[in-house]
Structure 1
Amino acid sequence: MLSIVVITYILLIQQPYQTYQLETIEAALASTVELSCSVGQNIEPTSPAKIIWIRDDRADIVSLDSVITVRDRRLSILTMTSIDREERILRITNVEEQDHGLYRCIRGDITLNEILLDVLIPPRITSHAPEDMRMIVREGKDARFSCTATGRPTPTIVWQVNGLSRPTLVTTIAGTNESVLILRNVSRFDSGRVDCSATNTLSTVNRQFLLDVKYRPTVTVPFHWSYFRVNDSPTITCLACSSPPPTTFDFFRPKHANPITKGIKDKFDEVLNQTCRQLTITLHLSDTSLFGAYVCRAKNIAGISHAEFIIKELIQSTKHMKSISEEHALTPTSIIITTSSSTVTKNDEPSERHIEYSYKSNTVATGIIAEKNQAFQLSTSLLLLIVLLFVASRC
């Protein structure tokens, strides 16, 4: 047992320089770094061996004592000598990415020190899709973006859509640092900026994409129906919002392919912003043919939409209203249809339910008018009787 201990002690004495630990030094690009190697002069003073710096991954001898053996002006050796120690410091100025690696300082067959030089590299986005930084897609479809980034440490990629993080929609491709963002069933509200940011301990870089979602027009009018008299001049506005802007935007009569021209007193088309236009017309209702249903229709490459409104004739006298009501009590001439683009029937005709409702409404209106006329006649007769009695009493 004693002999084993003695042998172990002798081996430790003969290997005094194998007690080093691997050291890691981080250096940024363009910085200056110094790698230190030292040996005690009181150990093996008669050893003729030189202190050598070796680049392990390339098997290059960088220096012999104080002499640089490679052609690189960025490298130099600083020699520092004291009573008990001798140092050979390898200085690297303007550090480059290629300087990354393991450096060993040896003397003879003894390794004095090992240093891993970790060159920190800011993140770089090396590829991205779409390459022109612009994505055009129709509403309801999917949009796919990708970014690949490099750097040391490996950068983290984060996606934002109009300033909001979307981590649940991101996929990282195994074996690469490629990140993919897939927006499912995009809507018009997704239009705008899509940002890909790559970050490590040094800095952050990003790529900014433009997402352009195309959608068919949304058409609105301020009223679905309204009453006017003959020779009135109503003003109607129609708002259409879409991307791209409508190629067709005008007022029509139902089932007519051409815009209306009859009765138009004034017409004004205004661009409100990049997606919305407003069309305003003033009609002169010179005859009864101008009353009825109208359609504001807008069309672009993504589709077509419309909104319907009805201009009804306001009957001017109670007597005329009673006559019209009695003659047409059983016809659906006063039906009001308030349909939008999503509820128009195939033939643009009112349903039986609407006809029945109109019929009942006209019947009730006729009864009310008749009762009012009877009350008026009774009041007139009583007033006349009172006047006669007053005249007779004066006589």
Structure 2
Amino acid sequence: MLSIVVIISILLIYQPYQTYQLETIEAALASTVELPCSVNQNIEPTNPAKIIWIRDDRADIVSLDSVITVRDRRLSIQTRTSIDREERVLRITNIEEQDHGLYRCVYGDITLNEILLDVLIPPRIISHSPEDMSLTVREGQDARFSCTASGRPTPVIVWQVNGLSRPTMITTIAGTNESILILRNASRFDSGRVDCSATNSLSTVNRQFLLHVKYKPTVTVPFHLSYFRLYDSTTITCRACAVPSPTIFDFFRPKHVEPIEHGIKDKFDEFINQTCRQLTITFYFSDPSFFGPYVCRARNSVGVSHAEFVLKELVQSTKHLKHITEHQPSTTPSIVTSTLSSVITNNDDSPERHIQYSYKSNTVVTGINAQTNRALQLSTSFLLLIGLLFITSRC
């Protein structure tokens, strides 16, 4: 019974040295850290020994009491002694990534302390695809980007396309911290910046890609039907947007290969922006054959597109107005003039279409000849004279 009590007492005395808790100390690169270790001087080990620091993952003895045993000027031992305790603090300056690991402080056969030195490392993007930071695909194809990042703590990778997050299109490969972004069925609106950002508690690092989505031209004209008179002039514009820029861009007659040449007074081609061109022409309708259907056609390496429009002839009308005039015999001619003028203007999203026609008709009514009037007056006087003579003879 006495022997059992002695064994329990010994276990209680040595318990603080036989049980210890793993401690984790975080340190950033280029910083300085101190790893503490102390021993109670009132406890004498069976075989007196010195305090030793050991790097477990390398099986290196770093120090023997207050002496550094490895060739590294960044390491030193800070000795601190008190009445009941003796300390050997391992100091590491200008922390490097290789300093990460498990350190143990032992005293004889007793482990006094065990510390995991966690060296914090800012994130780094160690590989990416495409390597030249630029990707070109056709509209409707998939666009694939990837980033692999390292750091401690493990960085979180976030993707953005033109400033917007696309989380549903991201895949992370476990164990490598590689993140893949796949834009399914890429459209022209995806063209622009694709950002890969890796972030941990220390900082954020970014890689910026450029995505170019090629698409065939989109061709537009402001109107599709317009009326003009023969010998009129008009200006027509056509806009084509595409990536890459159209190699063919001109006005054609349907089913014709060559651009139109006749009837054009002026032509002007300009770039509106990096993807859009505008072509402006001025037509002069000197011949009726210039009226009819036309197309504005644009072609690039992806495809060809066109927009149709029709120029129709406005035929002048010959309406007649009937004027009914009443007049009395007069020695002065009477002239009646009537004028009809009408202008129709169509205001819509297309360029102005003007239909203008005018009609003038003049009607001249001539009065009764003055000589005829005088003959009528003489006849009337003669008849009155005969009547008077007849009445006188009866009496």
TM-score normalized with structure 2 length? 0.81
Aligned to 1:62: 62
Deviations 1:308-339 (A, max 9, x none): 111111112335xxxxxxxxxxxxxxxxxxxx
Counterpart of 1:124 in structure 2 is 124
Corresponding position of 1:359: none
Bigger shift: residues 88-97 or 168-177: 168-177
* Corresponding residue for residue 284 of structure 1: 284
How far residue 123 of structure 1 moved from its aligned partner, in angstroms, is: 0.7
- The residue that corresponds to 2:237 in the other structure is 237
* Aligned equivalents of 2:2, 2:291: Cα separation in 1: 121
Contact 2:105 2:111 in 1 (8 A): yes
1:352-363 counterparts in 2 under 5 A?
A: none
Amino acid at match of 2:90: L
Is 1:154 paired with 2:154?
A: yes
Partner of 1:356: none
Q: What are the residue-to-residue correspondences of 1:262-277 with 2, within 5 Å?
A: 262-277=262-277
What does residue 29 of structure 1 align with? Answer: 29
Corresponding position of 2:50: 50
Structure 1 residue aligned with 2:171: 171
Aligned-pair identity (%): 79
1:220-241, Cα deviation, whole Å (9 max, x unpaired): 1111011111111100000111
Which position in structure 2 is the counterpart of 1:73?
73
Q: How many residues are matched?
A: 334
1:212-227 to 2 correspondences below 5 Å: 212-227=212-227
Matches of 2:9 and 2:138 in 1, distance apart?
Answer: 80
Summarize deviations over 1:175-209 as a string: whole Å, max 9, x none: 22111100001110000000000111011101100
Q: 1:12, CA displacement in angstroms? A: 2.1
Matched with 1:103 is 103
Q: How many Å separate the matches in 2 of 1:292 and 1:269?
A: 23
Greater strand share, 1 or 2? 2
1:387 Cα offset (Å): 2.5
* Aligned amino acid, residue 32 of structure 1: T
- Aligned-partner residue type, residue 237 of structure 1: T
- Asked if the contact 2:229/2:313 (under 8 Å) is kept, the reply is yes
1:74-93 superposed matches below 5 A: 74-93=74-93
**CA offset at residue 283 of structure 1?**
1.0
Cα displacement (A) at 1:42: 1.7
| d(CA) in 2 for partners of 1:14, 1:99 | 31
Indicate conservation of the 8 Å contact 2:45/2:108, yes or no: no
Give the SS at the match of 1:17. helix
Instruction: State the AA in 1 paired with 2:25.
Output: I
Sort the Cα spacing of 1:227 and 1:16 in 2 relative to 1 into closer, same or farther, 3 A.
closer
Aligned partners of 1:157 and 1:75: how far apart in 2? 35
Q: Deviations over 1:87-139 (max 9, x none)?
A: 00100001011100110000111001000000011111111111111010000
2:206 pairs with 1:206? yes
* d(CA) in 1 for partners of 2:318, 2:188: 51
The secondary structure found in structure 2 opposite 1:7 is: helix
- After TM superposition, the structure 1 stretch with the greater mean CA deviation from structure 2, 263-272 or 39-48, is 39-48
Q: From the CA coordinates, give the structure whose radius of gyration is larger.
A: 2
Q: Which residue of 1 aligns with 2:187?
A: 187
By percentage of residues, which structure has more helix?
1
Partner of 1:370: none
1:307 matched residue in structure 2:
307
Q: Structure 1 pair 106/249, CA: closer, same or farther in 2 (3 Å)?
A: same
Distance 1:388 1:293, change over 3 A: farther
2:392 equivalent in structure 1? none
TM-superposed deviation, 1:9: 2.9
Taking only aligned residues, the RMSD between alpha carbons, in angstroms, comes to 2.0
Letter in 1 for 2:281: I
* Per-residue CA distance 1:248-304 (angstroms, 9 max, x = gap): 000001110000110110010011110000000001111101111111000001111
**CA pair 45-13 structure 1, distance change in 2 beyond 3 A:** closer
How far apart, in 2, do the equivalents of 1:168 and 1:241 lie? 30
Letter of the 1:139 partner, please give it: E
Q: What residue identity is the alignment partner of 1:217?
A: P
- The DSSP-based 3-state class of the residue aligned with 1:234 is strand
Where do 5+ consecutive residues of structure 1 fail to align?
320-372
**In 2, Cα distance between the equivalents of 1:149 and 1:308?**
53
How far has the Cα of 1:389 moved from its partner? Answer: 8.7
The CA distance in 1 between the partners of 2:220 and 2:106, in whole Å, is 84
Residue identity opposite 1:242 in structure 2: A
